[in-house]
Every structure is written in C-alpha cells, then in structure tokens.
Amino acid sequence: MNNIKFVEPQNIEKRSFEIIQNELGDFKLESEKEPIIKRVIHTTADFDYVDNLIFSDNVVKNAKAALKSGATIITDTNMAYSGINKKAAAKYGVDIKCFMADEDVAKEASERGETRATVSMERASKIQGPLIFAIGNAPTALIKLYELISEGKINPELVIGVPVGFVNVVEAKELIMSANIPYIVAKGRKGGSNVAAAIINALLYNVEEN
C-alpha cells in the first residue's frame, strides 16, 4: 500500500520512550520523577516539560501511597477523565470522578455566578477518603481548591495543577503551590487535560516502584 516502514503498534510505546531518553542525552532526571516527566513528553512531544514540571517534596511517594489506599481522583474536564486508564485505576480500587457535565452543577454555577469548575470542586470536597485532584483546564478549580484547603475543608493527597492558557493560569498555579499541600504543577502557560491524565497514568503505572 505504501513504502514506509512502520514500527509494529505493540512496540511503539517502548520505542518512543527510548527516543525520548535518547534526546534527553546525559540529562539526568530524578528517578521518582522520571516516568512522569517522560510520559508527559510522550503525550505532548514537548520537551519543555523537563523544566516546566515542578514537584513538591516527596509528592510522588505520597501520591503512590494514596493511590494504593484507593484514593478518589477528581478531574476538571471530561477529557482528562477520558484519558485516565480506568483498568489501571480499578486495580487499586481508585475511583475517578468528574462533575463538570452534571446538569445540577451547571444550574448551581449559573445561579451563583460561579464557574462549573468552582462548583465541581465544592462537590468533590464532600467525598470521603483520600482525594487527588487532576486539574488540566480551569484556573478557577485551582483557586477554589486553594480556598477549600485554606479553610481546612479538604486536605488533598495531591493536586495536579496543569491548566493551560494565557489568562489566570500562571497565577492560579503559583497560588496552589503556596497552599502547603503536595503538588505537581506545570509552571507557566503550558499543560492541558492530556497532561493531567498522563501524570495520573504515570503514577498508576509505577505505583509499585519506590
């Protein structure tokens, strides 16, 4: 059909990570961060994430423990929800929730003049057990999380703060990094629902690693 030699699909991921390692050359990533940074690069083909991704102390170890204990993951988009590997999550009894498309969330947001992301985070704050937030889109989600944390209403095991964009995004990321909770943040403008899902998947795939 064509003369191009394609790599067999089952070998693509392995070969991709080899290429990423190759392009990183001698640059040494910290071992607990390495699978996360590489998976984000794999998802975006963007090596900026080598420098962009900021990890709070011990965040990876703590996040893996939370996943093992069956934490609930809350996303701020259905795209991020879709991108998380459900089988890998189910293996640890991890539930994934997104309230963004719920009609009553839209109604309440409209009545109160808030964003759906804000109302979604309030809903999420009522979930029992350990919480992990994967925020790839809405700065207002991060701002609301900062408030809920400051008010002592939640104490999340991890906030992934990787909204993408040009307005409020940088500020909201800086704010959540000041909240004294474990975080993985893509500093600057870049990020996205795909990046949020990639970080969760990298954690899930490496839960058993130390």
**121 is an active site residue:** no
In the complex, what is the shortest distance from the CB of residue 91 to its own copies, in angstroms, rounded to a whole number? Answer: 18
What's the length of the chain? 210
Is residue 15 a contact residue for its own copies (CB under 8 A)? yes
Closest residue by Cα to residue 72 from 95, 92, 52, 88:
95
41 exposed, middle or buried (CB, 10 Å; 0-12, 13-18, 19+)?
A: buried
Size of the site for its own copies (CB under 8 A): 48
Per-residue contact string for residues 64-103; x = within reach of its own copies by CB under 8 A: -------------xxx-xxx--------------------
Q: Which ranges of 7-92 would DSSP assign to H, the alpha helix?
A: 9-24, 34-44, 49-52, 59-68, 78-83, 86-90
Distances (CA, A) of 33 to 1, 25, 39, 53, 59: 42, 17, 10, 9, 9
Nearer to its own copies, 78 or 155 (CB): 78
The packing angle between helices 9-24 and 34-44, to 10°, is: 110
Q: Which stretch binds its own copies (CB under 8 A): 64-72, 125-133, 136-144, 202-210?
A: 136-144
Is residue 6 a contact residue for its own copies (CB under 8 A)? yes
Closest residue by Cα to residue 131 from 182, 82, 195:
182
Q: Which stretch binds its own copies (CB under 8 A): 24-32, 66-74, 119-127, 160-168?
A: 160-168
The site for its own copies (CB under 8 A) is made up of 1-2, 4, 6-7, 9, 11-12, 15-16, 19-20, 42-46, 77-79, 81-83, 115, 139-140, 143, 146-147, 150, 164-169, 171-172, 174-175, 188-194, 197
